[in-house]
Amino acid sequence: MDASRTKVQESIAAGAAAVNGEQPKKSRPVEGGDEIRLRLLRPPPVGAKPEDIPLDVAYEDEHLLVVYKPAGMVVHPGYGHRTGTLVNALLYHVGARPIEISAPSDELDAGRVGLSTIGAVPKQEGNPAVRPGIVHRLDKGTTGLLVVAKTNASHRNLARQFKQRATHRHYEALLWGRLSPKEGTFEGAIGRDPRDRKNMAVVPEEKGKSARTHYRAREQLAHTARATFELETGRTHQIRVHAAEAGHPLLADAQYGGAHVRNGPHGRKRRAFFERLFEQLGRPALHAASLGFRHPATGEAMNFTAETPADLRAVWDELRRVEGA
């Protein structure tokens, strides 16, 4: 039987297994002589449909777009997020038809889609990660700027710039603790956390990809800081992982230890204050504030900025008011 363990488990959970012609209870042990039949569930069709979702476009021409991604929006379809993504909004924006993929060998025509198709088709059957136009990503909770390729030529050029570290990406974040020194570099390979494969972590060089993150404290209070980061590499969750590893997780970042009081007094009143702030923010305190690259067709330097979102400003103002320096 050519099936993954996950597919078998999902089929059993959906009631597609029978023992001796009957659907068994989960607690029933397997006995000698049992005849077990399992009907594997077919994965839902893989694809992406255009959706009329508001799109904040900072720049657009026939080669690319620069867009502002709001908090809560996933960049491309995936497990648990098959609709409502940036890709769905982009497909609608460029007037594309729905994308349907029946096998990993399928090919898409960038001219017909209106977005680049490099890496757009998932390599594994049933994987819903359809991502036309996507050159780089931001986490679901991160706000800020993304460049999207419309043509395959533009995609190749932009991807080369990212690989050669010729792009400029600056982020703003609110952190736990005071940074010392106020300016420096976090360095450490990043890979899957061996204790929890859903997370990333700083790991030995041979088990991850090298990563460097430059930081600078912009303002520091008694137990929190407002900082900017510049990415030299672009690994998954890089800023969040490096900051947490250094003892400065992002405020409200539950995945990496920033959603509870880390520094300063732990009294009930102060804990309640931060719980309210975290609920107000509802996401890791991270914003992709600027993006720079060379235009893939003209070579012109392109630089874009996005002002600090209102939720981060409001949280920092409240921290200033209550905790001060």
Q: Which residues are catalytic?
A: 139
Identify which of 250, 260, 172 has the alpha carbon closest to the alpha carbon of residue 218.
Answer: 172
Residues 6+ apart with CB under 8 A from 246: 186
Measured between alpha carbons, how far is 284 from 143 in angstroms, rounded to an integer? 10
Q: How does DSSP classify residue 319?
A: H
Identify which of 158, 173, 166 has the alpha carbon closest to the alpha carbon of residue 289.
Answer: 173
Residue 283: C-alpha distances to residues 44, 307, 309 (Å): 30, 17, 12
CA of residue 9 relative to chain centroid, distance: 27
Q: How does DSSP classify residue 138?
A: -
Measured between alpha carbons, how far is 46 from 125 in angstroms, rounded to an integer? 9
Is there a contact between 134 and 76 (Cβ–Cβ < 8 Å)? yes
Is the link from the previous residue into 194 a cis peptide, with omega within 30 of 0? no
Is there a contact between 255 and 240 (Cβ–Cβ < 8 Å)? yes
Strand segments, DSSP code E, in the chain are: 17-19, 36-38, 46-48, 56-60, 64-69, 99-101, 143-149, 168-176, 183-187, 190-193, 196-202, 212-220, 224-231, 286-294, 301-305
Is there a contact between 212 and 234 (Cβ–Cβ < 8 Å)? no
Is there a contact between 48 and 98 (Cβ–Cβ < 8 Å)? yes
Identify which of 143, 73, 176, 169 has the alpha carbon closest to the alpha carbon of residue 310.
Answer: 143
